[in-house]
Amino acid sequence: MMSFEWPWQYSFPPFFTLQPNVDTRQKQLAAWCSLVLSYCRLNKLYTMTVPEAQESPLFNNRKLQRKLPLESILVVLEELRKKGNLEWLDKNKSSFLVLWRRLEEWGKLIYQWVSKNGLTNSVFTLYELSNGDDTEDEEFHGLEESLLLRALQALQQEHKAEIITLDDGRGVKFF
């Protein structure tokens, strides 16, 4: 696995305090959003709880001994939600789903793989798609089932796939 390259701001102590100036704060939030998405993408993180986020290296620079405070983490997460890159998984807003790719993009990636490998008119279990040997080198390998299903639903709306029920769970047929 590649190591994550932290942006320059991560080594800058004031980055861990949301700035009061509106313009500065907007740039800072954009930098935080970019950092969260890049970090989650490289580490293939999809779901997280707020306490996990608080303790993760993402919001906690141990070398600098600086942490983004909880209230500020929630501001960053809300900014990601507004941009369509985060969904809360519960009413208490204690766990969340990070969408570092939109569902349509995941669907497009999967369909490109299916087409490239001549697998249209084939049936796959959801497990085969996200965890099978054939998809090991694909970006969607390891995709959480709930996200995979939603990406396939987007493909189904485009009439490129049909989600089906198999004896051992759900599957999908591509057209």
Instruction: Write the pLDDT tens digit of every residue in 89-136.
Output: 999 999 999 999 989 999 999 999 999 999 999 999 999 999 999 999
pLDDT at 137: 94
24-33, 65-74, 162-171 — which is least confidently predicted?
162-171
1 pLDDT exceeds 90?
A: no
24 pLDDT exceeds 80?
A: yes
C-alpha to C-alpha distance for 89 and 146, rounded to whole angstroms = 11
pLDDT at 2: 64
52 pLDDT exceeds 80?
A: yes
**Which domains does the chain carry?**
8-98 (1.10.10.570), 103-174 (1.10.10.10)
pLDDT at 166: 85
Query: What would the DSSP string read from start to end of 113-171?
Result: HHHHTT-TT-EEEHHHHHHSGGGTTSTTTT--HHHHHHHHHHHHHTTSEEEEEETTEEE
- Burial class of residue 94 (count of CB atoms within 10 Å of its CB; 0-12, 13-18, 19+): exposed
Mean pLDDT of the chain: 95
| 130-160 per-residue burial string, b: 16 or more CB within 10 A, e: under 16 | beeeebeebebbebeeebbbbbbebbbeeeb
pLDDT at 50: 98
Altogether, the residues listed in the chain come to a count of: 175
pLDDT in tens, 140-153: 999 999 999 999 99
pTM given for the model: 0.86
